[in-house]
């Protein structure tokens, strides 16, 4: 579909919040054996569970490599669409399209560059060329026009928006040496302003310690609705994140959003520390240049890394006492949605969670724009 | 989408004629250098011309391998959709889905098996596994339910239908040893009756001599509309096909179709014999087990191998004096359509023509069936 030479800001399209209604949810079938233990079979099972849960509320499309096509097709309900697409790994929120919308409700895609979370400096695998093509391929399939940014690296999990002009991100990630080292913070703000068309960017200093993505914001918080945030939290003074949580809270509670609102903050305690076991570590293939997963490494397990469907919240659980409290808290925040927990240890073993492996395609008010 | 355990006949779905209105036309980007000379670059140019011509009248989707994705995307108009799909070669009419329709106008796909025109006996390449998956992958993308036939080999180019219960095919192809050697002609008729839901099967003995597909019917004739056929023809008594043309005419003029009509036959003289040149033969890669293309081999050049769009006929030309006469004849047969000739020597060098490389998706009266 037509690649726009303009920018969303010029065309008055604005980054849309992920709690907007979706016409479909896209995922990618996991398979690389140097990231997913046991040849990815356990992760595939959990991805399938996530897909089936979302599928109760909106159409789901599973993208899958040539080699895993028949396997994915067989493992999923017939009404989940399975479409072939080459990939390097299964994190569509990071390298799938972002979406912007204008006042008439037309949706367009935004395709930033992707370099596996740090490129040759501290990226997590090589190559990442197929991941980097996925945003435009998804837009092609959906018939959505898209903007393409020639050089700028940005992952979808590194920003959150309220859809009303506010964007939250972290310095640790966006200022990292492996992404856009030639851009100053001001220049990065200029890119985000032009391609996301936001007016207020809230910078948190850093993400959670044991997150290999250089501090993605989607393991810190999520927008419930404009003005309302759910924040990863601990009250254990011995925990590594104790101080960091308070720094996040300090920033978020003393700023206002693009509409001038003070943010309402709800705290969501993450599970007790979750670590990689010997059995888990040993079932991962060795490979050149991929991220090691060592016994005893702490996993980036949080509850805020969830998917927002129209009628449900699909959130990760970890066979942990905090699971139940998280569900209650989420139910209170979303009284009209069904709150569905899915045991997600296999996903966090691969380096992310339910939010990272899903990407909603917002409802397009006009199915097809006129050719321009 | 749901794989139906039933058959079209049981569900009262009938094979739809290709002159019905389409919602899109699918093609596959050619690339294999052991079939297309010069690394496929010339053929790609002609495929692009065909795509652009059809695109003036209906949406076009170009399927393309991972490796050629960016190349195809760049060579085609932005409003032609480009979707990744693995393939072994570029003949979607043969291995794409057939389509059946019920009285309510609902479309379903039919997915026969494909073995590269003869499998291990006299097939044209090995393997053909990715081609054989394309029918179901296209149905997935389009959201069309489909029937799958476990064992029976059938190519789309080997049958023609009027959409009203008549099917025309050849004994040379359907009874060939490389396809369904365990099936008698009667048993083959039973399969076609069950999965195409036709009442009258007209058998021609053989196809054109120099057609490596064992006599596909789409190089013999095409349906203009129910009861009206355009037939490949020569009046040159020295030509190899002189006698065969008359045998076809004999069969077609002495039978009736499923509705009891005598067929109206229009003859369309093919171009003077077209042969492979030394330069063309030498620009094809040698490879294990693929069909040799030798200097002096006669090419299967006919004009009936055309694509029927709603507002146009896209037909092959061969820089031949007969091109002009063919255009006039087609214009007389289709007075309301634009008749567009495309120089197609590069396609026939690869073993087929415009009809073989295109597959229309009929307009679906109901976009989505209810889940069953």
Look at B78 and A1 and tell me if their CB atoms are within 8 Å: yes
Bin A150: left if φ > 0, else alpha if -120 < ψ < 50, else beta.
alpha
Residue B80: closest C-alpha in chain A: A1
- Which chain B residue has the Cα nearest residue A59? B143
Please say whether the beta carbons of B171 and B216 come within 8 A.
no
Give the pLDDT confidence score for residue B290 in this predicted structure: 80
The arithmetic mean of pLDDT across residues B59-66, rounded, is: 98
Residue contact B81–A137, C-beta within 8 A: no
Name the burial class of residue A120, with classes exposed (0-12), middle (13-18) and buried (19+) by CB atoms within 10 angstroms of its CB. Answer: exposed
The helix/strand/coil state of A195 is helix
Among the partner-chain residues A1, A81, A86, the one whose CB lies closest to the CB of B140 is: A81
Distance from CA of A94 to the nearest CA of B (A): 20
Q: For residue B120, report the phi and psi dihedrals to the nearest 5 degrees.
A: -75, -15
Mean pLDDT lowest among A288-302, B109-123, B190-204, B294-308:
A288-302
Q: Which two tokens stand for residue B170?
A: 């050849």
Tell me if B83 and A130 make a contact (CB, 8 A cut-off).
no
- Six token digits for residue B198: 């036709």
Mean pLDDT for A21-48 is: 97
Task: Flag whether pLDDT at A41 surpasses 70.
Answer: yes
Mean pLDDT of A11-26: 97
Contact by Cβ (8 Å): A344, A306: no
The model's confidence at residue A170, banded by pLDDT at 50, 70 and 90, is very high
Between chain A and chain B, the number of residue pairs with CB atoms below 8 A apart is 50
pLDDT band at A2 (very low <50, low <70, confident <90, very high): low
Q: Are strands A81-84 and A60-64 parallel, antiparallel or unpaired?
A: parallel
The pLDDT assigned to A101 comes to 97
Output the CA–CA distances (angstroms, integers) from residue B326 to A237, B53, B232, B337, B352, in the order listed: 86, 18, 11, 14, 18
Distance from CA of A57 to the nearest CA of B (A): 14
Residue B67, min C-alpha distance to chain A (Å): 10
Cross-chain residue pair A81–B133, CB shorter than 8 Å: no
Q: What is the mean pLDDT of chain B?
A: 95
Residues in chain B closer than 8 A to A71 (CB atoms): none
Chain A residue closest to B142 (CA)? A81
| pLDDT-based confidence at residue B364 (cuts at 50, 70, 90) | confident
In this structure, what DSSP letter does residue A298 have?
Answer: B
Given this model, what pLDDT does residue A3 score? 62
Beta bridge partners, A201, equal A167
Q: Which chain B residues are closer than 8 Å to A3 by Cβ?
A: 78
Q: Hey, is B342 helix, strand or coil? A: strand
Measure in Å the smallest separation between the Cα of A83 and chain B Cα atoms: 7
CB B176 within 8 A of CB B214: yes
Average pLDDT (B74-86) is 97
For residue A371, which residues of chain B lie inside 8 Å, CB to CB? 79
Q: Of A231, A261, A260, A256, which Cα lies nearest the Cα of A246?
A: A231
Interface-testing mutation among B140, B148, B372, with chain A (most A C-beta atoms within 10 A): B140
Cα separation of the two ends of chain A: 11
Catalytic residues of A: 356
A81 and B2 in contact by Cβ < 8 A? no
A66–B70 CB contact, under 8 Å:
no
Q: State the pLDDT at residue B171.
A: 98
Cβ burial of A206 (10 Å; 0-12, 13-18, 19+) is: middle
**Do residues B334 and B225 lie in contact, with contact meaning Cβ atoms separated by under 8 Å?**
no
Minimum-distance CB partner of A84 among B1, B81, B86? B86
Q: Show the CA angle centred on residue A148, arms to residues A142 and A152, nearest 5°.
A: 135
Contacts of B3 in chain A (CB under 8 A): 78
Test A83 with B140 for CB contact under 8 angstroms.
yes
- What was the pLDDT predicted at B250? 98
Percent above pLDDT 70 for chain A: 97
Contact A137 B371 (CB under 8 A): no
Interface of A with B (CB under 8 A): 1-3, 66, 69-70, 73, 78-79, 81-86, 130, 133, 136-137, 140-141, 143, 371
Alpha helices in A21-98 (DSSP H): 41-55, 69-75, 92-95
Closest Cβ–Cβ partner in B81, B137, B371 for A84: B137
| DSSP H or E stretch at residue B231 | strand B228-233
Domains of chain B: 8-362 (3.75.10.10)
**Whole-complex ipTM:** 0.90
Give A205's contacts (C-beta < 8 A, 6+ positions apart). Answer: A170, A171, A172, A247, A251
Instruction: Decide if pLDDT at A371 tops 60.
Output: no
pLDDT (tens digit per residue) in B8-24: 999 999 999 999 999 99
Q: How many CA atoms lie within 13 A of B323 on its CB side?
A: 15
Tally Cβ neighbours within 10 Å of residue B286: 8
The model's pLDDT over A178-222, given as tens digits with 9 standing for 90+, comes to 999 999 999 999 999 999 999 999 999 999 988 889 999 999 999
Strands B160-161 and B166-170: antiparallel
Q: How many residues does chain B have?
A: 372
The stretch B290-301 carries a mean pLDDT of: 88
Q: Is A266 exposed, middle or buried (0-12, 13-18, 19+ CB in 10 A)?
A: middle
Nearest residue in chain B measured CA to CA from A66: B86
DSSP 3-state percent helix, strand, coil across chain A (nearest 5): 30, 25, 45
Nearest residue to B9 via CA among B157, B167, B116: B167
Structure tokens at A313: 């919240």
Residue B4 has pLDDT above 80, yes or no: no
Two structure tokens written together for A157: 């999990």
How many angstroms away from the CA of A317 is the closest CA of chain B? 30
> In 3-state terms, chain B is what percent helix, strand and coil (to 5)?
30, 25, 45
Contact A169, A206 (CB under 8 A): no
Among chain A residues, CA nearest to B82: A140
Q: Do B141 and A79 lie within an 8 Å CB cutoff? A: no
Q: Report the C-alpha gap between B359 and B24 in whole angstroms.
A: 9
Tell how far CA A111 is from the center of its chain.
15
Max Cα distance, chain B (Å): 59
H or E stretch including B84? strand B81-84
Is B79 within 8 Å of A371 when comparing Cβ atoms?
yes
- Indicate whether A369 pLDDT > 50: no
Q: Which of A66, A131, A132 to mutate to test the interface with B (most CBs of B within 10 A)?
A: A66
Measured between alpha carbons, how far is A361 from A366 in angstroms, rounded to an integer?
13
Terminal-to-terminal C-alpha distance of chain B: 11
Q: Model pTM greater than 0.90?
A: yes
CB contact under 8 Å between B137 and A78, yes or no, is no
Nearest CB to B84 within list A2, A79, A85: A85
Name, in order, each residue with C-beta under 8 angstroms of B332's C-beta and a sequence gap of 6 or more. none
Shortest Cα–Cα distance, A290 to chain B (Å): 23
Q: What is the pLDDT of residue B5?
A: 80
Shortest Cα distance from A28 to chain B (angstroms)? 14
- Confidence category of residue A110, pLDDT binned at 50, 70, 90: very high
Report in angstroms the alpha-carbon separations of B214 from A3, A54, B56, B195. 44, 48, 33, 22
Q: Do B69 and A371 touch (CB under 8 A)?
A: no
Min Cα distance B56 → chain A (Å) is 13
Q: Rounded to whole angstroms, how far apart are CA atoms B216 and B353?
A: 12
- Averaged pLDDT, B305-324: 97
What would the pLDDT profile of B236-279 be if each residue is shown by its tens digit?
999 989 999 999 999 999 999 999 999 999 999 999 888 999 99
Quickly state the pLDDT bin for B370 (edges 50, 70, 90). very low
Neighbours of A361 (CB within 10 A): 23
B3, B79, B84: residue with CB nearest A2: B79
Which residues of B are identified as catalytic?
A: 356
Q: Decide if pLDDT at A38 tops 90.
A: yes
| CB-CB neighbors (< 8 A) of B143 in chain A | 81
Of A3, A79, A82, the CB nearest to B2: A79
* Strands, sheet with B228-233, edge to edge from the N-terminal-most edge strand: B221-225, B228-233, B264-269
Q: In the predicted model, what is the mean pLDDT of residues B158-178?
A: 98
Q: What is the pLDDT of residues A307-363, one digit of tens each?
A: 999 999 999 999 999 999 999 999 999 999 999 999 999 999 999 999 999 999 999
Residues 6 or more apart in contact with residue B160 via CB below 8 angstroms: B18, B167, B168, B169, B217, B218, B221, B222, B223
**Which candidate in A3, A84, A131, A372 is best for mutational testing of the B interface (most B CBs within 10 A)?**
A84
Least CB-CB distance to A2: which of B78, B82, B140? Answer: B78
B125 secondary structure, DSSP code: S
Residue A208: name the closest of A240, A250, A177, A176 by CA. A240
Q: How confident is the model at residue A372 (pLDDT cuts 50, 70, 90)?
A: very low
pLDDT at position B2: 59
């Amino acid at each position: 579909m037509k690649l726009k030479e303009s920018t969303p800001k010029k065309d008055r399209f604005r980054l849309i919040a992920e709690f907007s209604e979706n016409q479909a949810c896209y995922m990618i079938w996991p398979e690389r054996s140097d990231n997913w233990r046991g040849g990815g079979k356990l992760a595939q099972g959990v991805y399938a569970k996530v897909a089936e849960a979302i599928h109760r509320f909106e159409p789901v499309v599973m993208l899958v490599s040539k080699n895993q096509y028949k396997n994915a097709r067989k493992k999923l309900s017939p009404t989940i669409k399975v479409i072939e697409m080459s990939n390097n790994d299964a994190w569509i929120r990071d390298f799938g399209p972002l979406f912007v919308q204008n006042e008439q409700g037309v949706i367009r895609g935004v395709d930033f560059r992707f370099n596996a979370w740090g490129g040759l400096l501290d990226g997590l695998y090589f190559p990442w060329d197929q991941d980097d093509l996925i945003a435009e391929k998804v837009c092609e399939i959906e018939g959505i026009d898209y903007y393409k940014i020639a050089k700028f690296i940005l992952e979808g999990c590194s920003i959150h928006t309220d859809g009303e002009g506010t964007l939250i991100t972290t310095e640790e990630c966006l200022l990292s040496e492996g992404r856009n080292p030639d851009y100053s913070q001001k220049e990065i703000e200029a890119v985000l302003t032009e391609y996301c068309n936001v007016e207020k960017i809230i910078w948190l200093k850093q993400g959670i310690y044991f997150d290999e993505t250089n501090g993605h914001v989607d393991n810190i918080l999520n927008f419930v609705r404009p003005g309302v945030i759910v924040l990863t939290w601990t009250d254990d003074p011995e925990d590594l994140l104790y101080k960091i949580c308070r720094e996040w809270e300090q920033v978020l509670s003393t700023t206002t959003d693009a509409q001038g609102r003070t943010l309402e903050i709800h705290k969501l305690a993450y599970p007790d520390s979750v670590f990689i076991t010997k059995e888990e570590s040993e079932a991962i293939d060795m490979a050149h240049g991929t991220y090691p997963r060592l016994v005893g490494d702490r996993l980036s397990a949080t509850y805020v890394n969830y998917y927002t469907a129209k009628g449900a919240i699909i959130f990760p659980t970890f066979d942990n006492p905090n699971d139940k409290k998280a569900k209650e808290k989420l139910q209170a925040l979303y009284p009209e949605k069904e709150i569905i927990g899915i045991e997600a240890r296999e996903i966090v073993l691969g380096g992310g969670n339910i939010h990272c492996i899903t990407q909603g395609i917002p409802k397009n008010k006009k199915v097809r724009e006129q050719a321009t």
